[in-house]
Copies of this chain bind each other. A is one copy, B any other.
Amino acid sequence: MSVTAAQGFTAGSTAAGLKTTGQSDVAVVINHGPMFSAGAVFTRNRVKAAPVLLSEESLATAHRTGTPITTVALNSGGANACTGAQGMRDAASMAAAAGAAVGAGYEQALVCSTGLIGTLLPMDALTAGIAAAAESAGDSAEHGTGAAQAIMTTDSVHKEAQVSRGGITVGGMAKGAGMLAPQLATMLVVITTDADITHKQAQKAVADAVTTTFNRVDSDACMSTNDSVILLASGASGVKPSQKDITQMVREVSADLARQLVADAEGASHDVHVTVTSATTEDAAEAVAREICRSNLVKAAIFGNDPNWGRIVAAAGCVPEQVAPFSADDLSVTVNGIEVCRGGGVGRDRDLVDMTPREVEIVVDLGAGTASADMWTNDLTHDYVEENSAYSS
């Protein structure tokens, strides 16, 4: 069930003192081969943290030259974002420490950081911690869960997932305290597989999988400066899957982890699943789903257990015609199985809707085509406001 579930991977962690609580805060994931393929998707935010800039560059070089990617080092307790030239030097030192731990150079390591923006990392503690974490990995696959715990920030539980079939295993870990505070709680994900795939196949698998999983979880309308989803492949199973099969397995693990992120939204009282159907294209369906997921009025109504279809329809109406063609008169909205809006107007009695389950299912039918898409968000609660106003980040 962890980042070491796939053959060929070990992981370690340690408390290096980056977190003032004394909890573990550094993790290392090591690929023992025989393949050392990797792919990754990083934040699209133009303000990228130093570890993202460095990892993007190292991965691009690896893809161009065939350099192996042997390790990933991660830390909580500091994001190393908006830290200028010193931040870049620190990210390089972090990668060098991670590479050295497996007898390689900095160019074979990817790095991820999460925590406060605008403060420099305590590099002595961090580099010592990376060495200690790598040491603790030993040669067993037992320490995957410890790594998942070391990357937690405001998470209440660690997050792991695994899929095995056809002789291949894909496992992974993620951190992110729901999508309620993506900047406080940057989303970091490491997925491993023992499939025998190339850099190029790994890149395609992770890029495709993210599109319909992590990119479909939205509450704050913004990726953080540090978001990273990394896939490592060891080839240790000796099985060469088709692109379609490995992509599907990575997608399943990603979907499982993404759902865990939504469920761990501590400030939330509802997980909200928005499905848009009968759209002209999947992109159109996604655009409408995203607009609904981003509406504070919709999210606050759900917190109040109010199946407020007027707000849902008004949010849908904010999507430009050229993005999602539909007629307002054709809209229907179903909340937890009750079609409260039909033909753009009043449907069944909204008092029939049972809003007590934690999971709220919203289905919006555009009546315009045959495509669909779904997305997850949470409700807007007092605890969200409290978490994001009472604590600096």
Chain A residues in the interface with B (C-beta under 8 A) = 45-48, 81-84, 87, 116-119, 181, 183-184, 220-225, 294-297, 300-301, 303-304, 306, 308-311, 313-319, 321, 328-329, 331, 341, 343-346, 380-382, 384-386, 388-393
Contacts and interface: CB of A to CB of B under 8 A. Distances in A.
A84 B343 contact: yes
Contacts of A315: 222
A346 B118 contact: yes
Stoichiometry, as copies per complex, reads 2
Nearest to A83: B345
A220 B346 contact: no
A47 B225 contact: no
A16 to B, nearest CB: 23
Contacts of A297: 181, 183-184, 220, 222, 388
A317 B225 CA distance: 8
Given A46-B328, A84-B345, A297-B220, A390 B310 contact: no
B346 A296 contact: no
Contacts of A389: 300-301, 303-304, 306, 380
Contacts of A116: 310
Contacts of A296: 220-221, 296, 380, 384, 388
A294 B46 CA distance: 17
Given A295-B220, A304-B389, A382-B385, A314 B84 contact: no
Contacts of A316: 46-47
Nearest to A345: B84
25 contacts: A46-B319, A81-B310, A83-B345, A83-B346, A84-B329, A84-B344, A87-B345, A117-B314, A118-B345, A119-B346, A183-B310, A221-B295, A222-B318, A224-B314, A225-B317, A300-B384, A300-B388, A301-B389, A301-B392, A303-B389, A304-B389, A304-B391, A306-B389, A308-B393, A382-B385
